[in-house]
Amino acid sequence: MKNTLVVFVVLMIIAGNAFSQGVSINAVGNPPDASAMLDVSSTSKGLLVPRMTQAQRNAIVGPATSLLIYQTDATPGYYYWDGAAWVPFGGSCYWDRDAVNGYLFPLTLTDKVGIGTNSPGAMLHIKGETDDNSAYSLMTDNNSGFNLFSVRNDGEISFKNYTFPIPDGTANQYLETDGSGNLSWTSPSSSPDLEAVSVYMGSDQAIASGVSVKLLTFNTEVYDDNNNFDNSAGNYSYTCPSDGKYYINVAIKPYPLPLNTCVMLVISVNGTPLKYMYGQQANVASTVASTVDATDILQCSAGDVITFGCRTNVGSITLYGGRWANTLNIYRLGD
């Protein structure tokens, strides 16, 4: 029995040497293809290569270039030795995947990813294929197809409902929406939040008795931030530069005050009196000036005109001129 086995082995070796140009393994006895050293063919079975873990693979001593194995753990798949490292079958692998959580990420976490460029300058660098508005380099939609964020190749950026303008604005401009998602650079017409006016009557003013209201001649400016107070003769009025709340304080010093004199200070908007303040001297006449003042906060619209008047019921009076005697202050408080 032993002799028979030895003869069979020797014959197999001789046959192998004789047909070393190729070996064929199949069920029908077909010869090997002339281009193959090993030709395995079947319609019902496959070729099974060694299966092992990553640790077992790495423990192979002196692997030959092109050695093929199937790795069963870590990132399973076919790997071959390229002469320097184990490489996933099909080429170099630059991505890894967490199959449990569905994560896809660069195999080396410090790698930079380039789309449209082979020299990315950031962790993710996207380069558009044009410089005009014909295409987008980046776009994100929600599940319904509604665009949430996009960057067009000419630089236009859209964020949900808002499209940002391409040109740069100028100094101190701000972005303003038209209510339909379009933004534009806008220059403020003035500095409404810093609006402040202080004026006074430069000389005495006579107020005759009667039912009509006499326009107060606040004709001397201490300051007027945006030149909205008109101190020219016959005008003496303030024009609101924008919608908002305005703080008004006005004070006068009338003299003399005859018996039972009533002095009325009036603040009007667009000719309609909105604020009255009375100063009254009863029972006895006086030549000593007393102050009548009015303070209010008015909600005004852009273009509203505010005027200040005075009337008296008995005799005539004189309003002291000069900053110490009378003053008008206006501040814009905001919207």
Is the sign of the CA dihedral 314, 316, 322, 328 positive or negative? positive
Can you tell me the distance from the alpha carbon of 115 to that of 139, in angstroms, rounded to the nearest whole number?
13
DSSP letters spanning 253-292: -EE-B-TTEEEEEEEEETTEEEEEEEEEE-SS-B-S---E
At 100-116, the pLDDT tens digits run 888 888 888 888 999 99
Residue 154 makes CB contacts below 8 A (sequence gap 6+) with 131, 132, 133, 166
Residues 158 and 293 sit within 8 Å (Cβ to Cβ): no
Answer left, alpha or beta for residue 91, where phi above 0 means left and psi between -120 and 50 means alpha.
left
Distances from the Cα of 333 to the Cα of 41, 175, 186, 218, 272, angstroms:
91, 23, 22, 22, 22
- Residue 85 phi/psi, 5-degree rounding, is -155, 160
What mean pLDDT is predicted for residues 307-316? Answer: 86
Residues 117 and 127 sit within 8 Å (Cβ to Cβ): yes
Beta-carbon neighbour count of residue 78 at 10 Å?
Answer: 13
Can you tell me the distance from the alpha carbon of 159 to that of 150, in angstroms, rounded to the nearest whole number?
7
At 155-214, the pLDDT tens digits run 888 888 888 888 888 888 888 888 777 888 888 765 445 789 999 999 999 988 887 899
89, 77, 123, 324: which is closest to 204 by C-alpha? 324
DSSP state of 166: S
Q: What percent of the chain has pLDDT over 70?
A: 88
**pLDDT for res 6:** 42
247, 316, 311, 258: which is closest to 283 by C-alpha? 258
Can you tell me the distance from the alpha carbon of 41 to that of 27, in angstroms, rounded to the nearest whole number?
8
Question: Is residue 13 pLDDT above 60, yes or no?
Answer: no
What mean pLDDT is predicted for residues 67-92? Answer: 87
Bridging pattern class, strands 124-126 and 113-115: parallel
At 279-306, the pLDDT tens digits run 665 555 566 667 888 899 999 999 999 9
Residue type, 169: G
**pLDDT for res 286:** 62
